[in-house]
């Protein structure tokens, strides 16, 4: 992909994050799958804008300030009067697996493509070189939002832009499986770099194994696929490339909250810097291995010293 992709954006939702600590107390932060990816990309040296909608409250102000401090571009964060962001709580068990509880039904991010400022936003996004979003993004925008999104992606790709998509299947966000399948089918047909998970595609489509999942994504016309396996590792498929890339070994998993988000950031950042798909997957595994050894969606920057440039 190389350095020619100068304008990069991730699209989705950021929420207030409450993390339950082992002693029963909570800490507050901000997180959301594509926002996590944007922060990790920025830390990895890739200029990235975050595209979402927030309220006009103090927490929304604090979110924007936090993202700007991380080097994430906020010029396309729409602000909606008299609204507040969604909220989620993370609980983790002794093995590091997490459970999420959500309060997000009236979050402004759901209306990203149907607000008064949305037409101007869409027009500008068509000029980007790479847009990244997830199955969660796809779900929260609803039918009305997707009716705006898909033509915009078509126009972007006709101009030479590229689209990256992480399947990130969350059944509770969808009214029914048929609606979700139609939306995913339409999204995959507009995807250049897919980061699906075997578990995601089994849950959504009933795909039995990695071969079936890979065949489905290829059948949609995606030319670069990083299929995340149930056992740690991934299969990279691109023109002239087909290779299984094992994950990094970790002595103790503390919290898997942003494992996939940081993996996506590592992969896309490496590709944007000119690494090949297999080398990019190895880099992504290294970054995810660091992230899952710390609590929370966005870990302290100094904890990433071993995988940051410079």
Contact predicate 91/98, CB 8 Å:
yes
Question: Would you give the end-to-end CA distance of the chain in angstroms?
Answer: 22
Q: Which of 117, 261, 302, 309 is catalytic?
A: 261
Strands 98-103 and 15-20: unpaired
The rounded distance, in Å, linking the Cα atoms of 306 and 196 is 27
Contacts of 134 (CB under 8 A, 6+ apart): 12, 33, 34, 165, 166, 167, 168
Contacts of 277 (CB under 8 A, 6+ apart): 224, 226, 236, 238, 241, 271
Q: Tell me how far CA of residue 157 lies from CA of 125, 129, 148, in angstroms.
A: 11, 9, 15
105 annotated active-site: no
Contact predicate 13/34, CB 8 Å:
yes
| CB-count burial class (<10 Å; 0-12, 13-18, 19+) for 131 | buried
Strands 241-246 and 224-228: unpaired
The rounded distance, in Å, linking the Cα atoms of 228 and 248 is 13
Phi-psi region for residue 272, left (φ > 0), alpha (ψ -120 to 50) or beta?
Answer: alpha
Helix residue ranges, H only, the chain: 33-43, 58-69, 118-125, 135-158, 177-188, 198-205, 210-219, 259-272, 277-291
Catalytic residues: 261
């Amino acid at each position: 992909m190389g350095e020619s992709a100068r304008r990069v954006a991730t699209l989705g939702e950021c929420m207030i994050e409450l993390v339950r600590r082992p002693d029963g107390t909570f800490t507050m932060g901000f997180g959301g799958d594509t926002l996590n990816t944007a922060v990790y990309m920025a830390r990895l040296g890739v200029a990235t804008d975050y595209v979402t909608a927030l309220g006009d409250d103090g927490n929304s102000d604090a979110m924007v300030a936090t993202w700007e401090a991380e080097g994430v571009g906020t010029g396309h964060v729409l602000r909606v009067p008299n609204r507040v962001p969604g909220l989620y709580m993370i609980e983790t068990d002794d093995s590091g697996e997490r459970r999420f509880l959500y309060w997000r039904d009236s979050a402004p991010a759901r209306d990203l493509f149907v607000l008064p400022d949305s037409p101007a936003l869409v027009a500008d996004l068509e000029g980007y070189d790479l847009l990244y979003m997830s199955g969660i993004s796809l779900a929260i925008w609803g039918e009305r939002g997707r009716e705006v999104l898909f033509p915009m992606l078509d126009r972007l790709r006709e101009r030479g832009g590229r689209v990256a998509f992480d399947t990130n299947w969350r059944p509770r966000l969808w009214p029914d499986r048929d609606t979700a399948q139609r939306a995913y089918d339409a999204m995959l047909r507009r995807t250049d770099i897919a980061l699906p998970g075997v578990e995601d595609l089994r849950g959504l489509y009933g795909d039995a194994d990695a071969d079936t999942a890979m065949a489905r994504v290829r059948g949609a016309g995606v030319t670069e696929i990083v299929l995340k396996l149930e056992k740690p590792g991934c299969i990279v498929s691109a023109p002239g490339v087909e290779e299984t890339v094992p994950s990094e070994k970790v002595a103790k998993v503390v919290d898997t909250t942003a494992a996939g988000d940081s993996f996506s950031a590592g992969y896309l950042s490496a590709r944007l810097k000119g690494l090949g798909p297999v080398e990019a997957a190895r880099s992504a595994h290294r970054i995810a291995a660091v992230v899952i050894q710390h609590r929370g969606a966005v870990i302290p920057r100094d904890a990433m010293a071993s995988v940051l440039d410079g």
